[in-house]
Structure 1
């Protein structure tokens, strides 16, 4: 599949899944095309050989298929130079990362890959991989173990460290990564931790692109259209956003020349995404599911639901946001609605509705608290909370069971069942301290707005309630 010379390797990336292939590798290929540079990527799987077995027979190349409202756009991506499998040969991975030509080690390893306690951000010292790596530092299993082993080689050789860049959906992902790397390094070798703290760089990033799981039907359709078989292909939406803190030890690709936003701090962008995108996504998921819509695109095809989204952004969400550097919040919201309307991306309302007890505090309740403190009752977001309460009760508007996937599913159902009236059901669910803090739950304005919305959902149904909603 590769037609020219592969670029020299300047990046090692841990976690060569679909998101990396649809996002990091695409940006990097475009950056090299725009401004050159040896930024080829050595991709490293921390678990399975699947990515290696799919990609290396193709010279590391694969097809990225953009799913737009008007159809598909296909392109072959050649930024990946090799794929290694860490469990098969961890020393080879450490050697590659220790090569002074490698300037960046980036990560998409999911939250679990950081071996930390999400509540505190601290290293989980009892994690089996951390226990193993501290006992066997020459043959590490974890991303942290591999990173620190390679940094120790570079320190011993007098070479500068590489920049460590997390691209996972973790708040302040650079700070989290720096913290667990330093904590692990200090357990391993205090002088290594001191050197990393003094010389290293851990820029935070915000990433955004919907990348649905590739199906056999996708592979078959590509083979039919292009007359080649590509098991490593990925599909993705047209939209993408990459916000990166400008903090690198030894340079970076020209990502900014192809649309990435280089900023001093990403926190405002993270809050923007969390509240504008994730908050309305959850709102549409619960109200859409209850209204009988299977996907987000079907949900916002109903003008009342689209109008609710627009009112939420304008009146309830954007007023709570600090201005992100270089961002137009109104334009960002319009782009979100266009993404939601894309029928080629089948984002199921049931899927987005999963794990709501974990998501609501960050996605909705913080915004609600901020508006209440400003003296405004955010009735649209209170409707979203009421829709979640109706959903976790486990019965839809036709009396059919809802398959509620949530760590607290049984407790949520039990709390809802304890109430014999809508008011009692709301009160019982507000008593769950894992979701609602005591101050918010006791706020009479919040309780009244959520209760009124819940009553309307029971009496009129989701579609009629949304049509009447005023944010």
Structure 2
């Protein structure tokens, strides 16, 4: 039987494979991370690994999966170790990361998760749970009708959601006289720290009205708990069986779940940690007073163009980002999209958009990553408001029609309509899929389809430019339905370079 990567085999790996440069037995857990997916293991866990190697042994990570046991089951036999494969078009560097000391699966043992969160040694809780897991209603507030929120309010000791776990843990710490941990959101939400702060206060206000144990909890969270905002950036494609086989060949042992990523990595954090933090700045993290400008640049230039590449790429038959970006028409569209989005960014924050988009061009062209367009396409209703809709509304308010930004929204609708037709049935998913399917089944004209989708997703709700936005999106959707991506881009003056699929 082939050996597995583990604490017993890590030191025998080939010399070119980097490995933890510290005694893992001396590491104390100081961070609980909710949502131990591939992105966390390529990003925050790697930064913490650097800090542990520098002697900051009080910041080990306890990983928590809120849904699936898959990551725990893959890493537990490996003592939490995994390989980070840093891939560029010319080379691949392997690094074994050891910062995750233990893993918990919330549905199996919510009590153990609450115990880890309430542990006085836990001083920071980080989250990468994806936009949809924050359970926001269309208006931006907490979705109080969501079944998981309803469950958590009725079952305080056995929560399912991040809100339920955080609120109960903070209540326990407060009752025990333990200072609150700092909550560090690392998801792509606008003003993510402030957004999670507001949602958690809303949740706490609903917990057991009149219960003595909850008296003042919402005020405690509002006044005493720090929620710094952060901006994270690293491309992390899904790991394939071919990746596992290649990595095993280089290691000489099996790794059940290696993580693929790119050389580029960025983390910008609001420096607000009352109970202390690792010296992240020594390893490339940017600690700032205001994350906002960096967040806006990343959301609108990287994430916005990523969504554009994904939906236009899917409709054009391109399976990966590098192939879609190599399509001359899509490439020209991305340049035009950036030109529309850049004027919506703050001009007094020292942002270098020229260098940033040049770096994005190199990253999107990385042929080694094989980042699937279908992976990026997931959860469009949750991602597009901050990636595309916000800047489109700002353009309308400034009297500048967002012609390219609105095509991205239309392409999401068209790609969603195409599933089960020119795209596989479940090629990508969205929390609104059931409601969207009902709209699409009616085969409405483009303007009525767009109005219905905007109502479902809450796009630009109560904004004066909403009608203009919908009209532009509907115009693009007509072109996509009639002649696919080729016609839609031609209407913008962009010549064909793609094999665009025509939707029926």
Q: How far off is 1:47 after superposition?
A: 3.5
Q: How far off is 1:237 after superposition?
A: 2.2
Q: Of the candidates 413, 417, 439, which is equivalent to residue 411 of structure 1?
A: 439
Query: Does the aligned pair in 1 maintain the 2:392–2:469 contact within 8 Å?
Result: no
Match of 1:342 in 2: 366
Deviations 1:352-407 (A, max 9, x none): 45665665554334433433443434444455566567656749xxxx83458663
Query: Does the aligned pair in 2 maintain the 1:308–1:380 contact within 8 Å?
Result: yes
Match of 1:269 in 2: 294
Match of 1:422 in 2: none
Q: Which 10-residue stretch deviates more, 233-242 or 179-188?
A: 179-188
Q: How far off is 1:136 after superposition?
A: 4.3
Matches within 5 A, 1:40-119: 40-114=60-134, 116-119=135-138
Query: Does the aligned pair in 1 maintain the 2:117–2:169 contact within 8 Å?
Result: yes
Q: How far off is 1:318 after superposition?
A: 0.6
Compared CA separation, residues 363 and 415, structure 1 to 2 (3 A):
farther
Q: Of the candidates 227, 231, 256, which is equivalent to residue 281 of structure 2?
A: 256
The SS at the match of 2:216 is helix
- Mapped to 2, the partners of 1:35 and 1:299 lie a distance apart of 44
Whether 1:298 and 2:323 are equivalent positions in the alignment is yes
Whether 1:5 and 2:5 are equivalent positions in the alignment is no
Matches within 5 A, 1:54-203: 54-114=74-134, 116-186=135-205, 187-188=207-208, 189-203=214-228
The SS at the match of 1:230 is coil
Compared CA separation, residues 411 and 131, structure 1 to 2 (3 A):
closer
Query: Does the aligned pair in 2 maintain the 1:108–1:166 contact within 8 Å?
Result: yes
How many residue pairs end up in the alignment?
A: 457
Q: How far off is 1:209 after superposition?
A: 1.9
Query: Does the aligned pair in 1 maintain the 2:51–2:279 contact within 8 Å?
Result: yes
The SS at the match of 1:461 is helix
Q: How far off is 1:454 after superposition?
A: 3.2
Query: Does the aligned pair in 1 maintain the 2:393–2:469 contact within 8 Å?
Result: no
The SS at the match of 1:164 is strand
Match of 1:461 in 2: 486
Whether 1:17 and 2:17 are equivalent positions in the alignment is no
Q: How far off is 1:29 after superposition?
A: 1.0
What TM-score does the superposition give when structure 2 sets the normalisation length? 0.77
- Mapped to 2, the partners of 1:74 and 1:352 lie a distance apart of 24
Q: Which 10-residue stretch deviates more, 7-16 or 153-162?
A: 153-162
Q: Which 10-residue stretch deviates more, 59-68 or 436-445?
A: 436-445
Q: How far off is 1:464 after superposition?
A: 7.9
Query: Does the aligned pair in 2 maintain the 1:34–1:258 contact within 8 Å?
Result: no
Query: Does the aligned pair in 2 maintain the 1:49–1:85 contact within 8 Å?
Result: yes
- Mapped to 1, the partners of 2:79 and 2:221 lie a distance apart of 34
Unaligned runs of 5+ residues in structure 1 are: 419-424
- Mapped to 2, the partners of 1:413 and 1:436 lie a distance apart of 24
- Mapped to 2, the partners of 1:213 and 1:137 lie a distance apart of 34
